[in-house]
Chain A
Amino acid sequence: MKFSENTASFLIAFLVIFIGFQIQTFVIYPVESLLRPDEYVNYASLVFIPHGIKIMVVMLIGPIIWPLIYLAQLLSGYIYSGDLINSLFSSGVGTFAVVIPAIMLNASLKRSIWAAPVFYRDINISIIWTYISLSVMASFFNSLLHAMYFGIDDLILPYLYFSGDVIGSILVFAILLGVVRPILLKIK
């Protein structure tokens, strides 16, 4: 899959990820701040939807989309925090975490490492289980690497990162089936 032949799809993917981060920042974080009494609310979201969106995009376009995932996350992180160094690292981890499981899946199925799982031609995979597997693996990488980087002593935080990523992924998948699919079927 070449970038030049799929410019629109790559740009849509970038926009979808970027918008996902904006929804997280301007809708979900404030709502969580209002509803959650715990002290971790400022550090870890329990519904982190960009994670699910990134998994969806990797399944649709393939791991080759990684530069745009990185860019979308970097831009969103920098706009939100104004901290370039942390944004550079956090985006790297966020991208690595979702891309590596997809590359591992492709390699284990003897596909091109950049292949998009949704478009495997000669093998019938379960979309739901592939999405869940990639999401859980990516959540592990993401939470552990973030915990290592920040030198977190508090053992609860990595679990919160992990839970937030998984819950966010489930929510994104439910929205895909319940909202996006009926719209797609109408415009087909």
Chain B
Amino acid sequence: MTNVRFYLGLLKMTSDAADEAGLSGLTNADRDVLLLVWEQYADGTVEKEIQCDAILEQAAELGKKISKAQFYKSMKTFEKLDIVERVNSPRSQTYVFKA
């Protein structure tokens, strides 16, 4: 484990720097989730409770396979990239779309 320190460090260094510079790209799965989340705000609501099950159902209707784990991972990425912001409590499922 310790012998991959150089590799891990380099990966962490470049990833953190890319995040800071706003260069970290979204994966294809992230983009799919983002599109579905974005549609939740189509009615003009500012704050919206984003339900995982509803998003997954919507994805299934469109023939896209998205897992629960992927959904939460993507939402975390969006928060990190300042695309969405969680409001109320840290465990709340209500987000404000910022981008």
Interface residues in chain A, defined as those with a beta carbon under 8 Å from any beta carbon in chain B = 5-9, 12-13, 56, 59-61, 116, 118-119, 126-128, 131, 173, 176-177, 180-181, 184-185, 188
A118 / chain B contacts, CB cutoff of 8 Å: 9, 12-13, 16
Q: Is the CB of A177 within 8 A of B20?
A: no
- Which positions 37-78 of chain B face chain A at CB distance < 8 Å? none
Q: Known: A6-B5, A9-B3, A9-B5. Contact between A177 and B21, CB under 8 A?
A: yes
Chain B, interface size category, equals 10 to 19
Residue of A nearest to B19 (CB): A127
CB of A169 to closest CB in B, whole Å: 13
- Which positions 11-41 of chain B face chain A at CB distance < 8 Å? 11-18, 20-21, 23
Q: Known: A118-B13, A176-B14. Contact between A128 and B6, CB under 8 A?
A: no
Q: Known: A7-B3, A8-B3, A61-B6. Contact between A127 and B16, CB under 8 A?
A: yes
Interface residues in chain B, defined as those with a beta carbon under 8 Å from any beta carbon in chain A = 2-7, 9-18, 20-21, 23
CB of A16 to closest CB in B, whole Å: 8
A173 / chain B contacts, CB cutoff of 8 Å: 17
CB of A47 to closest CB in B, whole Å: 20
Which of A5, A126, A184, A188 has the most C-beta atoms of chain B within 10 angstroms of its own C-beta? A184
B interface secondary structure, majority? helix
12 more CB-based (< 8 A) A-B contacts, given A9-B2, A60-B10, A181-B15: A6-B3, A6-B5, A7-B3, A8-B4, A9-B9, A56-B13, A118-B9, A127-B20, A128-B20, A173-B17, A181-B11, A188-B11
CB of B77 to closest CB in A, whole Å: 14
Q: Is the CB of B13 within 8 A of A126?
A: no
Residue of A nearest to B21 (CB): A128
Residue of A nearest to B5 (CB): A9
Residue of A nearest to B16 (CB): A127
A60 / chain B contacts, CB cutoff of 8 Å: 5-6, 9-10, 13
Q: Is the CB of A131 within 8 A of B6?
A: no
Q: Is the CB of B17 within 8 A of A127?
A: yes
